[in-house]
Amino acid sequence: MDPSVIVEGTSFRRSTTTAAPPSAVWSVWTNVASWPRWDTELREARLDPPAQLRANARGELVPMRGPASRFEVTAFEPERRYVLEIQLLFARLVIERIVEREGDGARFEHRVRFEGPLRWLFFWLLSKPFRAALPSVMDRVGALAAEVQS
């Protein structure tokens, strides 16, 4: 596994920087329909109407492998962070994305954690491909943010 992906219990995260401003990263991260452009584990992502990423918004993720999952945005701070939650059987997958200014660019972080009674089971079943893909996913977010900026 890539040492830049930090694992703690049933969570993992990766942080990186880009020369693009935080608003460009935010633009990439909040365009739900384009998530499969940078997330290689996704075939499709969509929001329920009204199609706007915000607190309490709901949608569906269709992975490359496995069944589609419903998600809900449980926290949303414009231009800074949002949290998605996916309900699993006796567990929950929580995805948090954070962006902040660093120098003339941005630092952005992708956090994933499993919660609930069966969190260890789902961490064991699901996290390895997510952790393996995360460095390249983050690189693609940075590259797309640089395109947005130009």
Determine the Cα–Cα distance for residues 83 and 97; give it in Å rounded to an integer: 7
Alpha-carbon dihedral sign for residues 84, 75, 5, 27: positive
Determine the Cα–Cα distance for residues 103 and 4; give it in Å rounded to an integer: 21
Mean pLDDT, all residues of the chain: 94
Total domains, the chain: 1
> CA separation (Å) from 121 to 3, 10, 84, 139, 149?
23, 9, 20, 29, 41
Model pTM?
0.94
Residue 82 pLDDT exceeds 80: yes
Whether 24 maps to a domain, the answer reads: yes
| 129: CATH | 3.30.530.20
Whether 37 maps to a domain, the answer reads: yes
Residue 2 pLDDT exceeds 80: no
The parent domain of residue 123 ranges over 6-149
Question: How many beta carbons lie within 10 A of that of residue 46, not counting itself?
Answer: 13
Query: Closest Cα partner for 108 from 148, 60, 141?
Result: 141
Interval 108-136: pLDDT, tens:
999 999 999 999 999 999 999 999 999 99
Average pLDDT over residues 28-36: 95
Whether 1 maps to a domain, the answer reads: no
Beta-carbon contacts of 8 under 8 Å, excluding residues fewer than 6 positions away, are none
Interval 3-23: pLDDT, tens:
889 999 999 999 999 999 999
Residue 150 pLDDT exceeds 80: no
